[in-house]
Structure 1
Amino acid sequence: MNSKAKYYPTAFVLYLNYFVQGIATGVLGQQIMKEALVTQWGGDIVKDIGLVATVVAAAGLGRLIILPFAGPLSDKLGRKICVALGALLYAVSMFMIAKSPTMMVAYIGSLISGSANSFLDCGVIPCCVEILAPRTGLATILTKFFISGGQKVLPMILGFAATASFGMTNVIFYTGVAFLVVAIFIFIAPVPKAEKTGEKQQSLIQQLKGTKFTIESWGLIAIGFTCTATFQLWLYCAQTYGARVCGMTDTTTMQSYYASGTILAIIVTAIITMKIKPVRILFIYPLISCITVFAVYFAKTPEMCNIGAGLMGFFAAGGVLQMATATVNDLFPKIKGTITAIIMIASSISMYTVMTAAGKMSPESVLLMNGIIAGIGTLIALFVNIRYKNLLANVEE
């Protein structure tokens, strides 16, 4: 019997964090939730709807601040403490946003949620990799699967809240309660001891010293920025476009199509990458995302919004960031930890900057910006694909 099998229930509890996180990250993108929050803040739901995008941007800033420190803390304090801290911080952030009397209180709550996300990533993923070894790829894919599962059930939760007169912001509040429950289970669950290498852990700054970056590595880092911007802008802003521009009366259907596309992409991409290199997906997926965004932009129909949501869930949120990370690790094997950390930092910068900008733009302008960013990401990926054989030759040398 596998000696790690006794930890499988623990892995399930750890992944539950991502299921709840899927609900937490998706809920602020729902048009009905945006209107409820803006009303709670005393704003105008037509003029001030962009405030929610500004609040969402704070999560990227919080993640950016904590990310360089969360990994070393996970190694020093242990996975259990790191994961529990992430779950507790997420609970606090959900309570603050749900009961926020002003946009600024919600902004601080979102900032805390970004910090919580960093602690979860640096605690859950290493721990589950240790439990599921040598199936490390499965350990990473499951995080995306559980997030998508949470986003898939979100429309049903919102539907219940609407019919039961439950109060929309209470959905956010009880998401925080769910994080507290998971945190309790984490404290109870046994976790394997982290493997010690005997080597002194270097900080990110120490790893960066002496590292030479090529134009291709900068290109892959840029893809970390563009692919994050593409799916974040769609997730948090597309429903406003559907409601305000395309005349949709029930925008939660877009969330359902989006989550279904993401779940399908996880399965299909896992199969495809067994036969072709991730770098090829790195070009094809953003290309189709770009075409989809412009199709929705020009069609302006509810039907196209739903179709676009499914396609964006598949091609924008279905693993491009993970494929970029896999590609950069193949091309630069000597600096895996450093380059991966930098891509994730680029991803966090992307979320903060583009969502801050989106909060000040019209729904049509946001969608147009999304298409342009996806197009830039496609061109960068094309360049990386062209250079791929030469880069592999350099790695072998």
Structure 2
Amino acid sequence: MNNPYIKTSIGLYLNFFMLGMINIIIASNMGNLSRLYDVTPSQVSFLVSAIGIGKLAALFFVGRLSDKIGRKPIIIAASFLYLLFLLGMPLTSSYYLAFAFAITAGIANSLLDSGTYPALIESFPKKSSTATVLVKAFVSIGATVLPFLISFLAANGIFWGWSFFILGILYVISGVYLFFMPFPDVENGDASEDEESDKEQDKKVLKAKPSMMREGLAIILIGFTSTALFVVWQTWLPELGEQFIGLSEHDSVQLLSYFSVGALVSVILLAVVLDRFIKPITVLIVYPIIAFIAMLLLFFVESYPVVLVSTFLLGLFTSGLFQLALSIMTDFFRKNKGTTTAYVNIASSAAFILVPIITGSLVGYIGISMTLVFDMVIAVLGILLALYIASRRKKIFS
């Protein structure tokens, strides 16, 4: 029997394909935006922080809202909030108004996360890990496509603002499309839903009740460590290549390409093997271990081929972990999926804000090598947390 939510998932994944573009659209148009607002590029970079602020602030209430009113209205509202951001940014000349639009984009991001992840998990209960990891794949593909779109606009003398407008049009189409699509009922864990959920999850038997202060807190912390592992390399990889490894500026920037390819391969690989050959908790243990080994290679081996291989491995084994943490959270806590996934998202947003600040301070006081040391510590912490969750899982489920 065909899953009735396949068509719905197309719209959900399209949203995250476009989100991949939005994640880098300000950085990709930094020169254009700085001229439009008559500010420095560093001031334009604060708009990225504004998105983070809006997302973090909204996460404290949108999860509960998703559980209360349902996934569909939350996701559709996100589409039209993104339209406000995408139309407003290139049309206003006020930096302060642009800052407000960026905060709006952050709120939209929270709505999208709090509605989409639970919707996918409820739509595909037997393949929930694969369904959530595919989100990362579409985000990565979107981030890969945007530079080509911007290059096309520039080469043909087309106003750069169309890189915003096209996404705005697509979000309207997505919002209207999803309005007519079916969504699964919100599962908030009443008796009948728990019974059905048990059937869908290979008839697991609950031997003990999971605690938000034990298992929940550990998974929330994995939300932080899994994001931190990835953010360090997105932020510092070119500088690390140039200052620590001794590569040229061009070769250092190229490392990001190897990292991105590794990240894309990771989510494709996970989409194939998850729930079929390997469990999400196993990935949360094994991936950081291999990432730690790749970091050691970078730290001690200066050979350029080894650097390229290590960078690819870091992209491969630090990507997709956050989505798996979300899946495991809903496996432990079936009630109020929007709320519980919002907790993990809050930890992830905190990592996006705090990790650049912490690593920037370490680099300023000690040196660029501390980015490697910091990430190795994060990897070890992530491994220990995942091992704890694995042990608790055996005690809670049979």
Same fold per TM (> 0.5)?
yes
- Give the superposition deviation at 1:347: 0.9
Matched, 1:194 2:193: no
Look up the match of 2:21: 23
Q: State the identity as a percent.
A: 26
In terms of mean alpha carbon deviation, does 76-85 or 363-372 score higher?
363-372
Look up the match of 1:268: 269
- Give the superposition deviation at 1:18: 0.9
| C-alpha distance in 1 between matches for 2:308 and 2:394 | 44
| C-alpha distance in 2 between matches for 1:365 and 1:157 | 40
- Give the superposition deviation at 1:379: 1.7
- Give the superposition deviation at 1:87: 0.8
> Is the CA contact 1:82–1:123 (under 8 Å) kept in the aligned structure 2?
yes
- Give the superposition deviation at 1:17: 0.7
1:34 to 23, 27, 30: 30
Q: Given the superposition, is the C-alpha separation of residues 343 and 111 from structure 1 closer, same or farther in structure 2, using an over 3 Å criterion?
A: same
Post-superposition CA distance 1:73-132 (Å, at most 9, x none) = 334434332211101111212333334545544433222112111211232333344444
Look up the match of 1:207: none
Matched, 1:321 2:319: no
Q: Given the superposition, is the C-alpha separation of residues 312 and 365 from structure 1 closer, same or farther in structure 2, using an over 3 Å criterion?
A: farther
> Is the CA contact 2:263–2:315 (under 8 Å) kept in the aligned structure 1?
yes
| C-alpha distance in 2 between matches for 1:388 and 1:129 | 20
Amino acid at match of 2:377: I
| C-alpha distance in 2 between matches for 1:306 and 1:162 | 31
Q: Given the superposition, is the C-alpha separation of residues 309 and 100 from structure 1 closer, same or farther in structure 2, using an over 3 Å criterion?
A: farther
SS, match of residue 80 in structure 1: helix
> Is the CA contact 1:283–1:378 (under 8 Å) kept in the aligned structure 2?
no
Aligned length: 376
Look up the match of 1:213: 213
Amino acid at match of 2:229: T
Look up the match of 1:97: 89
Amino acid at match of 1:21: L
> Where do 5+ consecutive residues of structure 1 fail to align?
201-209
Amino acid at match of 2:269: V
| C-alpha distance in 2 between matches for 1:363 and 1:164 | 42
> Is the CA contact 1:22–1:147 (under 8 Å) kept in the aligned structure 2?
yes
- Give the superposition deviation at 1:232: 3.3
- Give the superposition deviation at 1:310: 4.2
| C-alpha distance in 1 between matches for 2:75 and 2:252 | 33
Post-superposition CA distance 1:328-361 (Å, at most 9, x none) = 666x558895764422211122223335668999
| C-alpha distance in 2 between matches for 1:170 and 1:242 | 34
Q: Given the superposition, is the C-alpha separation of residues 283 and 243 from structure 1 closer, same or farther in structure 2, using an over 3 Å criterion?
A: same
Q: Given the superposition, is the C-alpha separation of residues 289 and 93 from structure 1 closer, same or farther in structure 2, using an over 3 Å criterion?
A: farther
Look up the match of 1:11: 9
Q: Where do residues 57-72 of structure 1 align in structure 2 (5 Å cutoff)?
A: 57-72=49-64
Q: Given the superposition, is the C-alpha separation of residues 284 and 389 from structure 1 closer, same or farther in structure 2, using an over 3 Å criterion?
A: closer
Post-superposition CA distance 1:15-70 (Å, at most 9, x none) = 2111111111133454xx3343334443445xx3xx45432222232222222322
Look up the match of 2:283: 281
Look up the match of 2:355: 354
Matched, 1:126 2:118: yes
| C-alpha distance in 1 between matches for 2:315 and 2:151 | 21
Q: Where do residues 106-185 of structure 1 align in structure 2 (5 Å cutoff)?
A: 106-185=98-177
| C-alpha distance in 2 between matches for 1:298 and 1:252 | 21
Amino acid at match of 1:25: N
SS, match of residue 165 in structure 1: coil
Q: Given the superposition, is the C-alpha separation of residues 300 and 170 from structure 1 closer, same or farther in structure 2, using an over 3 Å criterion?
A: farther
